[in-house]
C-alpha cells in the first residue's frame, strides 16, 4: 500500500490531512517533527513514497529536517506546506502547497506522484 508521511507541528492540521489521505485507501503517518519521522523508519519500517512537510521552520531547522528525511529515505519526493507566500520551494523541496489548502489541491499533488492509485 502506498504511504504518505505528514510532518507538521500543528496536530489538528496534520491529523486532518492524515484522515483525508486514509479516506482514499492510502497509508498515512502523521508526526510532529523530522526526528520522530526518521525514528519511524528505524522502529516501524515505515517507507513513505511521498513526504508532506511544513516548511515554516527557521531555514536552518528546515534544512536539518530535510537532511534527516534524506538519510532515512533518499529518493522520496518532498512537498512543502506553508502559510507564507513563497515564490519558489526551499532547497530540497520539489513543490509547495499553500496553507490552508482544500482536499482537491491535496489530491492534485498526491495524484501527481501516485497517479495510478490516488484518484
Residue by residue, DSSP assigns 41-107 as HHHH----SEEEEE--S-HHHHHHHHHHHHHH-TT--EEEEESS--SSPPTT-SEEEESS--HHHHH
- pLDDT the model gives residue 5: 97
Higher local confidence (pLDDT), 97 or 1: 97
Print the domain residue range for 100.
3-113
Q: What is the mean pLDDT of residues 26-45?
A: 90
Q: How many domains does the chain have?
A: 1
Q: Is residue 119 part of a domain?
A: no
Q: Is residue 20 part of a domain?
A: yes
| Least confidently predicted of 6-10, 21-25, 37-41 | 37-41
Residue 119 has pLDDT above 80, yes or no: no
- CATH number for 37: 3.40.50.2300
Residue 65 has pLDDT above 80, yes or no: yes
- pLDDT the model gives residue 1: 83
- pLDDT the model gives residue 118: 41
d(C-alpha 10, C-alpha 57), whole Å:
12
Reported confidence tier of residue 43, pLDDT bands at 50, 70, 90: confident
Q: Is residue 59 part of a domain?
A: yes
Q: Check if the beta carbon of residue 88 is closer than 8 Å to that of residue 56.
A: no
Q: Is residue 118 part of a domain?
A: no
d(C-alpha 93, C-alpha 73), whole Å:
14
**34-44 helix and 59-72 helix, angle to the nearest 10 degrees:** 10
Q: What is the mean pLDDT of residues 77-93?
A: 92
d(C-alpha 57, C-alpha 73), whole Å:
20
- pLDDT the model gives residue 60: 67
d(C-alpha 6, C-alpha 99), whole Å:
14
Reported confidence tier of residue 86, pLDDT bands at 50, 70, 90: confident
Residue 102 has pLDDT above 60, yes or no: yes
Amino acid at each position: 500500500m502506498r504511504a504518505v508521511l505528514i510532518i507538521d507541528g500543528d496536530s489538528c492540521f496534520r491529523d486532518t490531512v492524515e484522515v483525508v489521505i486514509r479516506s482514499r485507501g492510502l497509508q498515512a503517518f502523521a508526526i510532529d517533527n523530522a526526528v520522530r519521522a526518521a525514528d519511524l523508519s528505524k522502529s516501524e519500517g515505515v517507507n513513505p513514497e511521498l513526504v508532506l512537510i511544513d516548511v515554516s521552520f527557521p531555514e536552518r531547522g528546515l534544512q536539518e529536517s530535510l537532511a534527516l528525511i534524506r538519510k532515512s529515505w533518499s529518493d522520496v519526493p518532498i512537498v512543502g506546506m506553508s502559510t507564507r507566500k513563497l515564490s519558489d520551494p526551499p532547497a530540497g523541496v520539489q513543490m509547495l502547497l499553500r496553507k490552508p489548502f482544500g482536499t482537491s489541491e491535496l489530491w492534485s499533488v498526491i495524484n501527481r506522484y501516485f497517479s495510478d492509485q490516488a484518484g
